[in-house]
Chains A and B, each alone.
Chain A
Amino acid sequence: MTTLTERPTTIAADDPRLKDSSATRSYAVLGVLVAVLAVLPFLLDDQTETVAVRTLIFAIMAVGWNLMSGYGGMFSFGHAAFFGIGAYTDAYLLVQHGVSPWIAMVVGALISAAAGTLIAFLCLRYKLAGPYFALATFAFAQVFLLAVQNIDALNRTEGFNVPILSEDSWTMMQWKAGSPLYFWIPLGILALGLLGTIWFVHSRTGQYAQAVRDDETAAASLGINVMRVRLVTVAASCALTSVAGSFYTQYYFFVGPEQGFGSAVSVNAIVPAVIGGIGTIWGPLVGALIVGPLSEWIADVLREPPGFLSFLEGLSGLDVAVYAALLILIVLFMPKGIYGTLRDRFRS
């Protein structure tokens, strides 16, 4: 099978011989990173915090997506399905049954993992790979989107509003607008996701998954249960993405079919990972940190453009156009992603 990712010939972190030291180092980096990021709420104003939170949601999705598509070699173009399941499970259980979002998060993750495993099983059973696999996952996400729009119990196109409480509540995961907890919770989820990724990459299953990605036939001949390894990877990936969805509902107080299952959501999971570097631990995070604030930042510059650009003021569409051009340039000139390219540079 052709690999979707660069073969990890130079990735020391993936080399079992260096397993322990590289894992330890990754854990240490993660610790430092989380500690640094954790102080951000004290430095940011409300407005920037909303951008930061969205960036973290992107990052969680991208880290989740990366497990399946980067390490598992199964390019998913339908992660909206799992994000949506998380978002809707949370909304449905909370609004209709008053269930705490913490529980809903776990339930959503389980449902997502199950759904993802089933979809992946079908796709792999019928030997879909590469763009076919991508299109199949895309089709499933679309079917979910259309189905939700036609199910009365899920309010059809109406979506769900999360009731606003007058008091802060840990059980209901709700605090006053701008509370740092809205930053720390996704940061915690992201940290767990990255912790899981590091652990997974160095675990036996993770090593198998990468072996299967790189050469399925060889892996199978070594006695690796290819299907099992792949499905485990998919389940983990979908569960993590689902948690991002549940948090989305809690943070945005509203979820409709497009917000949960729209194809734009799938794109949001892919773009940061590819820009940062897929099949790497830190790539998705780096990508999200760039993509998340990028469009806001461009919009900001164009809102109050410096003198020589003043003719551009108020021209609608320009910020997205610039964003799109940057996306193209990054993919063209840094095909391994920003993190992947920089890392190779530092190595050599």
Chain B
Amino acid sequence: MKKLSLAVVGVLIVLTAAACGGYEPAEDEVVIGSVHPLTGALAGQGEMMHEGAQLAVDDLNEAGGIESLGGDSLVLRAGDSKGTADAGQIEAQRLVSEGAVALIGTYQSDVTANVSAVAERNRVPLVIDVAVDDVILEQGYEHTFRIQPNASSMGRDGAIALAELSKANGKPVRTVSYLHIEGAFGQSVHDAFEKEAADQGIDVVSEVTYPATNFTDATTQVREALAADPDVVVVTGYYPDSLLIAQAVRSLGGDVDALYGIANGGFDDSAFPADSGPAGADVLSANYHYAATDERAQDIRARFEQKYGRTMETSAMLAYQAVVVIAQGLEESGSKDPEELRDAIADLEIDDPLLEFGGPIAFDEAGENENASVTVMQIRDGKVEQVFPDEFKTADIVYPAGRAAGAKE
């Protein structure tokens, strides 16, 4: 027994020692930690976002590193949240221990809630690239910043955009049916939409929720949404479910003016037009979006595709942007001290965002980007085009969309 317990303790010590070999940044390096789901169900997104951040780091280093730090170069360290909150926290803590002066991440709201607590307690800034839940920044945390618009502002802006674009095209929306995924994300976008829609003279005649798991057929839910005979069907959800919904709307011959996504993870994904085929034609999507009208963003996307062999989605552009925000903060603060970096980021104003925002990136008291806004995209000829507002237009809008005709093929 004694021998055995000795053996156990021995094994423990060996394992602990083995787990210790941490990373030590060099003198002329500045470490940024990137926490994303690199394995698990969301690995596809997480990987791409990490690559987006890596591209930003490479670009900045090539351009001479951080000038105010004597040209010190950036190093991106990867953390794998595995899509779970506890793994996210462990990775965030590891990255901070390895000397990360700032964190970016994490794509998921629950993981972000955890990582933002780590950032706050270690007094290291966290720049959220993607994570939509309002609640994350309602904790009074001082070290968390978010570039993308939050759920409720997307719901609100989505309602305004819908009212305006339908009016501009001579067929103002009166009624909508709202299909959304169950949970905080879908619910908060819907609630904000409904509130703003009422002011815009739009009535939500039917709200249909569907589960986040075990959802493999949308026909019943779509039929329920169509039963109220709405002008427009609005959808908030992720990729697979949005695809099912678009297909169901088509097969049910839904005679609506438009299928309109808000904060929708599917409708403006570059894979969506091909995957959905005719069901995706003319689908509208109000979402944050990379700046398709901006040459710099186009160049980044082209190089991303060349380097990693896949299309750069908006989420990866946000990760790129998050690194740029931190780099700018470092330039301003001229220090590797996370607290000084945090203050610099809080005062930052970035005039040339890589996303289609209504103004420069600047953070308010809570850490939200004041000028984060949505753009409306539409699938035109198998491509995602920006169609509204006019200043960001890459193609003309088709409204009412030709869905009814497409369905009768």
Contact = CB atoms under 8 A, between A and B. Distances in A.
Interface of A: 25, 29, 32-33, 36-37, 40, 43-48, 50-52, 54, 149, 156-159, 161-164, 176-177, 248, 252-254, 256, 258-259, 264, 282, 285-286, 289-290, 293-294, 296-297, 299-300, 303-304, 314, 316-317, 319-320, 339, 342-343, 346
Contacts of A40: 16
B114 A50 contact: no
A316 B120 contact: no
Given A297-B18, A297-B19, A320 B82 contact: yes
Tell which of B8, B18, B46, B82 has the most Cβ of chain A within 10 Å: B8
A45 B15 contact: no
Contacts of B121: 164, 176-177, 253
B184 A157 contact: yes
B307 interface: no
Given A158-B135, A254-B110, A289 B12 contact: yes
Given A161-B135, A177-B122, A50 B89 contact: yes
Contacts of B82: 320
Nearest to A321: B39
Interface string B35-75: 00011000100110000000000000000000000000000
Contact of B19 (A51, A157, A253, A316): A51
Contacts of A164: 117, 120-121, 139, 141
A254 B43 contact: no
14 contacts: A25-B1, A29-B2, A48-B19, A50-B94, A157-B182, A161-B135, A177-B93, A177-B121, A253-B114, A300-B21, A303-B78, A316-B38, A320-B39, A339-B8
B7 A48 contact: no
A-side binding surface: helix, strand, loop or mixed? Answer: helix
B168 interface: no
Interface of B: 1-5, 7-9, 11-12, 15-16, 18-23, 38-39, 43, 46-47, 78, 80, 82, 84-86, 89-90, 93-94, 96-98, 110, 113-114, 117-118, 120-122, 133, 135, 139, 141, 182-184, 187
A75 to B, nearest CB: 24
Give chain B's interface secondary structure class. Answer: helix
A320 B85 CA distance: 16
A339 B5 CA distance: 10
Nearest to A276: B8
Given A177-B118, A320-B82, A163 B139 contact: yes
Nearest to B114: A254
B138 to A, nearest CB: 9
Contacts of B21: 300, 304
Contact of A161 (B84, B89, B98, B117): B117
Given A289-B12, A314-B78, A254 B93 contact: no
A157 B96 contact: no
Given A47-B98, A157-B184, A253-B114, A264 B84 contact: yes
Nearest to A317: B39
A314 B80 CA distance: 11
Contacts of B4: 339, 342-343, 346
Nearest to A37: B12
A293 B7 CA distance: 17
A159 B110 contact: yes
Contacts of B20: 44-45, 48
Given A50-B94, A159-B113, A254-B113, A290 B183 contact: no
B16 A48 contact: yes
A258 B15 contact: no
Nearest to A150: B182
B80 A46 contact: no
Contacts of A43: 16
B184 A45 contact: no
A102 B135 CA distance: 26
A161 B133 CA distance: 13
Nearest to B40: A320
Contacts of B114: 252-254
Nearest to A282: B8
A47 B97 contact: yes
B211 to A, nearest CB: 9
Contact of B110 (A33, A176, A258, A316): A258
A177 B122 CA distance: 7
Contacts of B90: 47, 50-51, 54, 296
A6 to B, nearest CB: 17
User: Nearest 7 CB-CB pairs, A to B?
Assistant: A47-B97, A157-B183, A253-B117, A47-B94, A177-B121, A316-B38, A50-B93
A161 B15 contact: no
B92 to A, nearest CB: 9
A254 B23 CA distance: 28
Contact of B86 (A54, A158, A293, A346): A54
Nearest to B115: A254
A53 to B, nearest CB: 9
